[in-house]
Structure 1
């Protein structure tokens, strides 16, 4: 059910969560005096993010912004007191705190977190024995669990929602989940700590034929690509941060997401990757995901990751390949499979087979890691 912001706030207060905190009285950030003494007025929540720099920065959020984002999330993730949410992510992320923890508390749902390391058996038994109705995880985690989900689908019938977030999801993962769990609504959410954290949501029920997009902006969020059809996405949100701790200046009205994509005439948002992932080879600019999508169409390939090494004309492209269980394929066959469909500047030079694609601690795929 949808609750007005005032009702959400009241329920959070009854649970001991008070979002209206005076900046001068903030003292809950593990004794970090630098942070606690440099907050702007109306700060109710502080989150840590590495953003695009890789360096830790603290974002400040108002109670009104948090409640506005929570309002938008509940409009597409309609849970209630009969629901049990299982989160396969670290609870320290702002996205999890707002989109799962506060949402569950506001609607009286049961909430469970997995241990940092868990087995597919643990996952299946938790869903089966706990009557889990809503599952949330990164695309990489759900991709790794996909064989188990397909094999044990009959044991997972309690699921009403399966939500992917935190990174882009492959069509194979989304289609695999939708096919294996036809009674569950698959949701692919996209967000940004500085402006939400949630910005858009795609639903298998609402847009079943548009599985390559991340859906429509939620309430209070607007996305656009200035002066171009495809380019860097910019966001305006009613949940925009108040600013970074210790950095002067108010948060801008429109914020660059550093994500590369487009917004079509229907308002659906397509994200192709990070702007800093763009490869410029022989004067041709392209996203590694364009190659990965083609590689993933091969029946022996479960997932792929393109890594660029070198600079300028000396750039070499390496494809890390995770194979479907029981399948084998020669590197030359994969190279031929994509080459006739791509310009020469996008041709892959090397293929390396891996058991699991490399991921960061956040669960997102890691293009920078060295595997050999």
Structure 2
């Protein structure tokens, strides 16, 4: 019988193979027995501070075992985990704490806020292991994860135990994880992707290696060579860093991996093709997902060799549709909003009933992304609904212009927005912001000529500006509104 929660699955794993390594951190190996005991000690600590069912426990996403202990202990008490970014500015941190009103805040250093706070270190392991406990039910709230999306306003996404369990089961089913795997996690644990990989592996009974980001790829290579790592989760920018630092040396190591999962932001087509060609025996998966609906679309680079520009197909046990604004399903090839349905989808936003109501249509969660399906069920992304530019009644997707601009030999990255300049015919003009690869600076005329063979005339920007960096969210998604 399948467990009702990640924490119940973890304790089953600990019971089935207590001496197996659960977590590797800075060359320290921690067994399932030790993690289980430390989770119960942390639960005792939290219980003594008054934490019970439905209370919020806020803690900071340092990449260490204390994060795992606190996360699972919070669930063991049927409380709600609120993992936060340790690098949050003080003002933003206070805002998120005031929204959630935690019973306890665990922080590595003393912070300026009115909520009870305690050190996030060995202090939480000083009590005896909790002896009596019951596991949460599927419908109970498990987490509140904050997402800024591309708009900059923080929203607390509510996730039930059923939501996070379904996210683990679905991704395992697609990727092919099992308890024999050892996965490198170089991602922040407060973020939905890194957190999903942590809880998924501990639920399975696999081993996780907590690694320090992508600037130290030698750590990955050592983990593959010396600790037998079989998988890694990465963001596309992380792969770009590894490739820049290690050149083609990554190939000999990554070829030994059983799987790689990419996600959180788009990946360049040529990098997808390069990976598929260089790693013929590695299962290379990429998901499209949201904090609100986990990884709901997957693609595997070898299986979809001719369609690597697609997002992929619906994840196992998930429905994905393309709907009009009125909720009618669009025909094959027609652009509409990508919507998702399944056990992975959030019940809504913390203390935001109006936003919750606006985010659903007939049981479907509205992603805010526009796209279309082909006759094989592949989903293609057209752009963010809020980013669409209206030129004389014609819809223009910034991502299409950016893809064309990024093919210019001098352009490293780009972002396009609409600007109102009182154009009598079109009402809006398109402005392109460009990040250059080097010192070569193409003229607006050269850029316009370059785009003429790739885009219809009305899609070609009238204004170009060079900047050092495109603003993005912590997960790498472009924040075009910050350019306006």
Residue 340 in 1 paired to residue 453 in 2? yes
Contact 1:5 1:68 in 2 (8 A): no
Map 1:106-185 → 2, pairs under 5 A:
106-116=203-213, 118-120=215-217, 124-125=221-222, 127-148=224-245, 151-152=248-249, 153-185=251-283
Which residue of structure 2 aligns with residue 260 of structure 1?
Answer: 370
Deviation at 1:9, TM superposition (A): 5.6
- In the TM superposition, residue 126 of structure 1 has moved relative to its aligned partner by 5.0
Describe how 1:278-297 pairs up with structure 2 within 5 A. Answer: 278-297=388-407
Could you tell me which residue of structure 2 aligns to residue 75 of structure 1? Answer: 173
TM-score normalised by length of structure 2:
0.64
- C-alpha contact (below 8 Å) 1:4/1:71 kept by paired residues: no
The residue aligned with 2:289 is: 191
Check the 8 A contact 2:269/2:309 in 1, yes or no. yes
Match for 1:212 among 306, 309, 313?
309
C-alpha displacement at 1:319, in angstroms?
4.3
The answer to which of 357-366 and 208-217 deviates more is: 357-366
Shift of 1:74: 0.5
- What's the CA shift for 1:89? 2.2
Q: Would you say 1:305 and 2:334 are equivalent positions?
A: no
Q: What's the CA shift for 1:116? A: 5.0
| Map of 2:100 onto structure 1 | 35
Runs of 4+ in 1 over 6 A off after TM superposition: 353-356
Match of 1:11 among 6, 9, 12: 9
Residue 317 of structure 1 corresponds to which residue in structure 2? 431
* Residue of structure 2 aligned with 1:101, choices 167, 176, 198: 198
What is the alpha-carbon distance in structure 2 between the residues aligned to residue 126 and residue 87 of structure 1? 11
Task: Specify whether residues 11 and 166 from structure 1 end up closer, same or farther in structure 2 by C-alpha distance, changes over 3 A only.
Answer: same
Distance 1:150 1:358, change over 3 A: farther
Asked if the contact 2:287/2:298 (under 8 Å) is kept, the reply is yes
1:84 paired to 2:182: yes
Of 335, 339, 348, the residue aligned with 1:230 is 335
Partner Cα distance (2:473, 2:352) in 1: 27
How far 1:117 sits from its partner (Å)?
6.7
Deviation at residue 359 of structure 1 after TM alignment: 3.6
> Is the counterpart of residue 242 in structure 1 residue 347 in structure 2?
yes
User: What is the number of equivalent residue pairs in this alignment?
Assistant: 360
CA pair 117-146 structure 1, distance change in 2 beyond 3 A: closer
Change (3 A) 1:322 1:134: farther
Contact 2:406-2:414 at 8 Å conserved across structures: no
The two structures have a TM-score, normalised by structure 1, of: 0.82
For residues 396 and 213 of structure 2, the distance between their equivalents in structure 1, rounded to whole angstroms, comes to 35
Which residue number corresponds to residue 385 of structure 2? 275
Answer with 221-230 or 254-263: which moved more: 221-230
Structure 2 runs not aligned, ≥5 long: 15-34, 41-50, 60-81, 83-96, 104-138
CA contact (8 A) 1:230 1:260 kept: yes
Contact 1:305 1:367 in 2 (8 A): no
Q: 1:293 to 1:27 in 2, by over 3 A?
A: closer
- Compared with structure 1, are the counterparts of its residues 199 and 320 closer, same or farther at alpha carbon in structure 2 (3 Å cutoff)? same
SS at 1:28 equivalent: strand
Gaps of 5+ in 1: none
Q: CA deviation at 1:5?
A: 4.9
Judged with a 3 Å threshold, the aligned counterparts in structure 2 of structure 1 residues 329 and 177 are, in CA distance, closer, same or farther, namely: farther
Distance change >3 Å, CA 157–CA 280, structure 1 → 2: same
- For residues 209 and 402 of structure 2, the distance between their equivalents in structure 1, rounded to whole angstroms, comes to 34
For 2:446 and 2:243, the matched residues in 1 are separated by 25
Structure 2 CA distance for aligned equivalents of residues 351 and 84 of structure 1:
47
Inter-partner Cα distance in structure 1 for 2:483 and 2:391: 21
User: Separation in 1 of the partners of 2:185 and 2:420?
Assistant: 40
- Bigger Cα Rg: 2
